[in-house]
């Protein structure tokens, strides 16, 4: 049986302009320039003032074909639904473009990125120095191409041999591939081409002085007692190896100098170079000054030639079909250009508004060079209420934007933290508790590291009444292992 129901629903839909703003808000500074270039290529009615020639002669509107059919009734009111004044703008966009451009010329320079060979290029260069026949060379190349970014070979030798047969029509034996793998394992950095951690460490140790008793003991530990070493069962190792505590300590220190991931030793430096801060906070005489990175304030404007096309239309007495279509196209592009400029403006205003609220909220923290004891508990809602915006908007800014301070460059998200109540009823940031926890572990006796229960007692003595499981959670978030794995000789 069919029934008809009348329902009333309240739906909220985002306009194209709002969607464009949300997308631009999420774009980090490093990618904004690319996004603007894309828009400039797609929309001829949008201009970059820094690139445009202000003295360019504007061509007259092209002549119309008098033979085109024209029906006066077609003109209708379709061309009268816009105001030409909406598209004619004063040359005040320079102010908009430079409003936040407070950086000195030195600050505006691009951060230099060192040009260097990649990990795989370095291996290939070493391979090229070895005299090999064609078959051996191709096997070695296949092995290098199969290494992971950390330098390990995680494909089996039979799989590599199969790959050579299918992809390069090279028939090789497992023994030949094993032999070439040993050649690659002799390359720098030491440990390259290992199939597991044990082999990686042994390759590095065997490149050292084999007559040194410390190296001998280290090789013995990794080769025969790796499980006891990783679990830090040092008493057991002393008994099994018949070593004195000092001898075992020397061997352990020798192992700790080794690189467990020889392939990605320079990856962290490269990643840091890719961060471009969205804001700068400067401190002068106990006063903080916030500026927006000039890259976030491009000098954009609506094209003069497109504005003049509309002016020409308004003065024109004839409105043929061809002109009709041209005006529709021009109006569409002008609207799109205006929307994009407005979205960029709104992005700048939202970024500054949000960061300024964060800076004011955490003023003492920034003033005291990032001392986490001054970091107040702060959640997204605190900032959203302060600036009168939605929590999702603040979240988009906090999760993708960086600020450069005198004590480092930080993701805005790192300034947000939950509140913990002390015994006196005062609310403090959980980051303050983490800082104290980190200091306690840093000052502990490494021969007898503090268990989570003991850390909980110490925090309670300091006035932070939190559960042991919370201490364990904070310790894990700090990347600190359990007490047993922190033990040293």
Give the model confidence (pLDDT) of 281-294 as tens digits: 999 888 999 998 87
Average model confidence (pLDDT) for the chain?
Answer: 77
pLDDT at 273 over 60: no
Instruction: Please name the residues in contact with 186: beta carbons below 8 A apart, sequence gap of 6 or more.
Output: none
Q: Respond yes or no on whether the N-terminal peptide bond of residue 189 is cis (omega within 30° of 0).
A: yes
The pLDDT value recorded for residue 272 is: 45
- 27-31, 113-117, 279-283: range with highest mean pLDDT: 279-283
Give the model confidence (pLDDT) of 309-332 as tens digits: 767 766 666 666 776 777 777 778
CB 198 within 8 A of CB 227: no
**Mean pLDDT value of segment 7-24:** 63
Q: How open is the CA angle 220-226-232, to the nearest 5 degrees?
A: 110
Instruction: Please name the residues in contact with 73: beta carbons below 8 A apart, sequence gap of 6 or more.
Output: none
Helix (H) or strand (E) holding 220: helix 213-224
Helix (H) or strand (E) holding 383: helix 380-387
The pLDDT value recorded for residue 98 is: 37
The residue ranking higher by pLDDT, 408 or 273, is 408
Give residue 383's pLDDT band: very low, low, confident or very high (50, 70, 90): very high
Interhelix angle 213-224/197-206, rounded to 10 degrees, is 160
- What's the DSSP call for residue 378? B
| Lowest model confidence (mean pLDDT) among 124-138, 154-168, 306-320, 441-455 | 306-320
CB 358 within 8 A of CB 387: no
Residue 323, both tokens: 């002109």
pLDDT at 92 over 50: no
Give the model confidence (pLDDT) of 38-73 as tens digits: 888 888 888 877 665 544 444 443 444 434 443 444
The pLDDT value recorded for residue 314 is: 61
Residue 106, both tokens: 């030195």
pLDDT at 172 over 50: yes
Closest CA to 183 of 126, 134, 246, 227: 126
Task: Please report the sign of the dihedral spanned by the C-alpha atoms of residue 187, residue 189, residue 195, residue 199.
Answer: positive
d(CA 451, CA 297): 52
Residue 288, both tokens: 């903080």
The residue ranking higher by pLDDT, 322 or 105, is 322
**Mean pLDDT value of segment 231-236:** 85
CB 297 within 8 A of CB 98: yes
CB atoms within 10 A of CB 265: 14
The pLDDT value recorded for residue 329 is: 79
């Amino acid at each position: 049986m069919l029934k008809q129901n009348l329902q009333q629903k309240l739906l909220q839909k985002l306009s194209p302009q709002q969607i464009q703003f949300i997308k631009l808000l999420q774009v980090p500074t490093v990618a904004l320039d690319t996004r603007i270039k894309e828009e400039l290529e797609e929309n001829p009615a949008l201009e970059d003032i820094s690139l445009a020639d202000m003295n360019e002669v504007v061509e007259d509107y092209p002549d119309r074909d008098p033979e085109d059919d024209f029906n006066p009734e077609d003109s209708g009111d379709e061309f009268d639904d816009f105001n030409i004044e909406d598209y004619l703008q004063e040359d005040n966009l320079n102010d908009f473009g430079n409003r936040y451009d407070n950086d000195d010329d030195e600050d505006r320079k691009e951060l230099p990125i060192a040009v260097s060979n990649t990990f795989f290029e370095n291996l290939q260069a070493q391979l090229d120095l070895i005299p090999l026949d064609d078959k051996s060379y191709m096997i070695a190349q296949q092995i290098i191409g199969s290494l992971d970014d950390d330098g390990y070979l995680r494909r089996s030798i039979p799989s590599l041999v199969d790959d050579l047969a299918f992809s390069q029509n090279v028939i090789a034996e497992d023994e030949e591939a094993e032999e070439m793998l040993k050649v690659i394992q002799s390359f720098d950095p030491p440990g390259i081409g290992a199939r597991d951690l044990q082999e990686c460490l042994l390759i590095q140790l065997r490149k050292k002085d084999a007559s040194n008793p410390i190296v001998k003991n280290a090789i013995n530990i990794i080769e025969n007692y790796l499980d006891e070493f990783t679990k830090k069962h040092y008493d057991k190792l002393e008994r099994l190896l018949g070593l004195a505590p000092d001898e075992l300590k020397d061997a352990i220190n020798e192992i700790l100098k080794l690189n467990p991931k020889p392939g990605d030793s320079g990856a962290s430096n490269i990643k840091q170079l890719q961060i471009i801060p969205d804001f700068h906070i400067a401190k002068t005489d106990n006063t903080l000054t916030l500026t927006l990175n000039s890259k976030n304030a491009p000098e954009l404007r609506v094209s003069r030639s497109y504005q003049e096309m509309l002016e020409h239309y308004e003065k024109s007495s004839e409105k043929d079909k061809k002109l009709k279509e041209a005006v529709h196209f021009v109006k569409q592009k002008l609207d799109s250009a205006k929307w994009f400029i407005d979205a960029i403006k709104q992005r700048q205003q939202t970024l500054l508004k949000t960061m300024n609220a964060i800076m004011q909220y955490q003023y003492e923290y920034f003033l005291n060079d990032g001392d986490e004891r001054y970091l107040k508990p702060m959640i997204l809602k605190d900032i959203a209420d302060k600036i009168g915006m939605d929590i999702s908007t603040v979240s988009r800014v906090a999760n993708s934007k960086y600020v450069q301070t005198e004590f480092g460059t930080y993701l805005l998200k790192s300034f947000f933290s939950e509140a913990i109540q002390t015994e006196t009823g005062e609310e403090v940031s959980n980051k303050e508790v983490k800082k104290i926890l980190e200091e306690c572990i840093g000052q502990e006796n490494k021969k007898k590291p503090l268990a989570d229960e003991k850390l909980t007692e110490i925090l309670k003595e300091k006035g932070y009444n939190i559960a042991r499981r919370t201490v364990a959670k904070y310790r894990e978030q700090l990347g600190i292992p359990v007490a047993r794995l922190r033990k040293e000789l």
